[in-house]
Amino acid sequence: MPVGCGGSDAVANGGDPGVDPSEVDAGNDASTPPGACAAGTWDDDANPSTPCVAWTSCTPGQRVATGGSATADRTCLACATGTFSATANADACGAWSECAAGTRLEAEGTTAADRSCKACATGTFSTTANASECTSWTACAVGENESAAGSTTSDRKCVVQPWMRQFGSTATDRVEAVSVDKSGNVVVVGYTNGALAGETSAGSTDAFVRKYDAAGTVLWTRQFGTSEADFAQSVSVDASGNVIVGGRTFGALPGQTSAGASDAFVRKYDAAGTVLWTRQFGTATNTSSEYVRSVTADKDGNVLVAGYVQGGTLPDQTGAGSTDAFVRKYDPDGNVEWTRQFGTTGSDFAQAVRADGNGNVVVAGRVIGALPGQMFEGGNGDAFVRKYDPAGAELWTRQFGTTALDGVNAASVDAMGNIVVAGSTEGGTLPGQTSAGGTDAFVRKYDAAGTELWTRQFGTDATDDAHALSIDAAGNIMVAGDTAGALPMQTSAGDVDAFVRKYSPAGAVLWTAQLGTTAADHGAGVAVDARGNPLVCGFVGGTLAGQMSAGGADGYVVKLVP
């Protein structure tokens, strides 16, 4: 049988009989033409020997930029900050979740995981999105009540429970000053011609110290003195809660020696009312008199006292005139560090002392004459402010006033070192101010270098005096005193009333409160607690609302809302 051409050619070429050569080529070539790859694979045929390969997988933290095809690979793009993808081959990156108010951030998001949030626990709250933590509700302090409950999105609200305490003996009693500790406990000092409840009279007039808790409950009272007349006129509480009392005695306090007709004294109690030490001091002449008008403690617990000396000279000092001002510094144990007696050839009085955050000492009062480097405005006296460094070196002095009688009765220093003083001018008008008539009160603010920032003169057409001031943590200024008229938007209760006025740091009046009885009432002191609540003290000739008179003139202390 003849052999066909195809068969003879196949044999001649070395192929197997009956096998198509084209079938041999297809079986040996692994490449595929473009577009022929299976789903999920690709080959651009750039290299004929390369087989189809799987598309690239976009991992968590990436998104698909372009999808794969039979001829192109899939491409991926990293998620931008603030977005994420948690699965492979995500079409898009999603924005991180927002932790709403009432939750806190438990874990920050990444490009591969969402932000996680956790609800605030009971007793805590958050008010902003993505808060790093939940804040504990405010604890209402002693003397405060809850006015609104807390939630996971809002704090508990507390309201001050105002209180008033009128007290005394059956004789005449006066509260002269008030201070408050960091826990809100309130300390007042003054003097009594009788015996306070639970106390014993030592003589004709005794000094006393009384401590209340923040709600107005009496914690302890200490009445003390000699067989003569004794007066507590200033108080300060140091950072440890110790109580510093300053005043005047006509006798010899226990363990002390009388130096003259009347002596100054300073006494330190611990927070529980135990006497730590007493220092009575004066000049060597029996006709001289010494007064402590103000006490304070600096940041290190050193004790500062200021007052005046009539007719004498303190040890190692030089007299300037008939009555001199002085300031003295004790260490916390009652050792004298330095004393400065100063003044003019006239009569000069230091009425206030305070320390700033650096330990510098500010003294203020009244002079009848010109202090060195200053000018006397004339009249019956000028106001002055003087600043010393911690070692007692004078830094600067400012004397000011009108042609009438002017004086500073109180001073304070804010957290920035600004100095605020308050006092009165009898019939004068301070520069840039307007007289309301009679005697006016004033407030003046200096910066730490002694530059005047502003002055406010105010009052009625009668007699108005500012006796005390205090500054809160925000720099607001509380001024207390008394008025024989009715201050703007206020009503006179009768005769003389106490008042307290609040100024902003810039000198804007925020509010005024006038209080009293139908008799003569006085505002002698003011302090501000850590929450900004003012404490005002003084003495009244009548009976305050809701109170009972003990007899004669009584002392009082009242807690107000900010």
| Residue 341: alpha-carbon gap to chain centroid | 33
Token pair listed for 471: 């500054």
pLDDT per residue as tens digits for the range 172-196: 999 999 999 999 999 999 999 999 9
Q: How far apart are the C-alpha atoms of 429 and 385, rounded to whole Å? A: 19
CB-CB contact of 390 with 361 (8 Å): yes
Under the banding of pLDDT at 50, 70 and 90, the label for residue 51 is confident
With cut-offs at 50, 70 and 90, classify the pLDDT of residue 146: confident
Distance CA 1, CA 10 (A): 17
Percent of the chain having pLDDT more than 70? 93
Nearest-angstrom CA–CA distance, 46 and 33: 10
Residue-wise pLDDT for 115-140, tens only, equals 999 999 999 999 999 999 999 999 88
| pTM to 2 decimal places | 0.78
* d(C-alpha 256, C-alpha 249), whole Å: 11
Taking only the tens place, the pLDDT of each residue in 195-204 is 999 999 998 9
Cα–Cα distance between 496 and 486 in angstroms, integer?
A: 9
Q: Is the dihedral of CA 374, 375, 381, 383 positive or negative?
A: negative
Measuring CA to CA, which residue among 457, 533, 464 is closest to residue 497? 464
Three-state SS at 8: helix
Contacting residues for 185 by C-beta, under 8 A, at least 6 apart? 211, 212, 213, 214, 219, 237, 241
> Are 248 and 309 in contact, with CB atoms under 8 Å apart?
no
Confidence category of residue 456, pLDDT binned at 50, 70, 90: very high
- Per residue in 332-374, pLDDT tens? 999 999 999 999 999 999 999 999 999 999 999 999 999 999 9
> What strands lie across the sheet with 289-297, from one edge to the other?
289-297, 303-310, 323-330, 336-342
